[in-house]
Amino acid sequence: MKKRLILLGPPGAGKGTVGGRLGETLELPLVSSGDLLRENLKKGTEAGIKAKQYMEKGELVPDEIVIAMIEEELSKPSCDRGAILDGFPRTLSQAQMLDGLFECGDDVKVVYLKADDDFLVNRLSKRRVCDGCGKIYHLVNLPPEKEGLCDVCGGKLVQRNDDREEIIRRRLNVYRKMTAPLIEYYGKRNVLHIVPGDGKLEDTLDEIRRIVKW
Ligand code: AP5
């Protein structure tokens, strides 16, 4: 039996931040489609090169690229007990592919982190990420101890290319069109839990831990 926690929500709702913190306590790996794509981009793999044009514009990378990447990741021994999924699935086809991987008895929970667009645009414009290890910061809410440097690895903190207002708004539109329908998809299966994504991080984490109980 595997534990699968799917973090669903618009850009900036906190999927990566919450997923990283929960991963530590639940002892499950965080599988982030966005991070995997950015890693591929950095390494210059074929998938990364193909994905670049879509990511820069704030559009979704074609399903076949993302699905192959996630399938490979979930088949690794590190995911034997299950995984926390951040940013996947994002389309109906991706959700159906994931359903095909689940086995009878797997414990599947979906947490939808909810927040409104203006809040998210404002929050994302203050996000910084470590160039080295990928740890996520916020200039006001979750700042590093030393300005511009990662607390964990000392790497440089940078702004993501897709965190410009114009691109953030496009990502939000894409989210509404392509990903928001999954709220109904999982709602019908009674595995969906709605949690505010705009509250204090510790409150959000406590609420998810109460839901998950692993
Ligand atoms: P991806 O990297 O997945 O981006 P996203 O979904 O747009 O989500 P973000 O990473 O922007 O936000 P988040 O919800 O993780 O928020 P975070 O925790 O960082 O995808 C990027 C691109 O890759 C896509 O546009 C697409 O092109 C492609 N892609 C990825 N997956 C794909 C897929 N499945 N199919 C097709 N294409 C795909 O938090 C945001 C900020 O808020 C941070 O500064 C954080 O410190 C702060 N914060 C978060 N929570 C709190 C809190 N509770 N209190 C205070 N501050 C908080």
* Whole-structure pTM value: 0.95
List CB contacts of 88: < 8 A, sequence separation 6 or more: 6, 31, 32, 33, 66, 70, 94, 98
- Residue 198's alpha-carbon distances to 6, 69, 89, in angstroms, are 18, 30, 22
Measured from the CB, is residue 54 less than 6 Å from ligand 1?
A: yes
Task: Give residue 205 CA to ligand 1 midpoint distance, Å.
Answer: 16
Q: Work out which ligand 1 atom sits closest to the CA atom of 197.
A: 53
Alpha helix (H) residue ranges in 78-116: 92-101
Whether residue 18 is contained in a domain is answered as yes
Q: What value does the mean pLDDT take over residues 14-27? A: 95
Whether residue 138 is contained in a domain is answered as no
Catalytic residue among 21, 109, 127, 128: 127
The predicted pLDDT at position 106 comes to 87
Whether residue 124 is contained in a domain is answered as no
Question: To test the ligand 1 pocket, which listed residue (92, 120, 141) has its Cβ within 8 A of the most ligand atoms?
Answer: 141
Whether residue 130 is contained in a domain is answered as no
Side chain identity at residue 146, one-letter code: K
- Tally of domains within the chain: 1
Whether residue 191 is contained in a domain is answered as yes
Q: Could you report the per-residue pLDDT of 148-196, keeping only the tens digit for each?
A: 999 999 999 999 999 999 999 999 999 999 999 999 999 999 999 999 9
The CATH number of residue 171's host domain is 3.40.50.300
- Structural domain of residue 58, as residue ranges? 3-116+165-212
Q: Work out which ligand 1 atom sits closest to the CA atom of 171.
A: 25
Measured from the CB, is residue 94 less than 6 Å from ligand 1?
A: yes
Whether residue 157 is contained in a domain is answered as no
Give catalytic status of residue 90 as yes or no: yes
Whole-angstrom distance, CA of residue 184 vs CA of residue 190: 10
Whole-angstrom distance, CA of residue 74 vs CA of residue 100: 12
Structure confidence at residue 142 as a pLDDT band (50, 70, 90): very high
Measured from the CB, is residue 66 less than 6 Å from ligand 1?
A: yes
Q: Work out which ligand 1 atom sits closest to the CA atom of 88.
A: 34
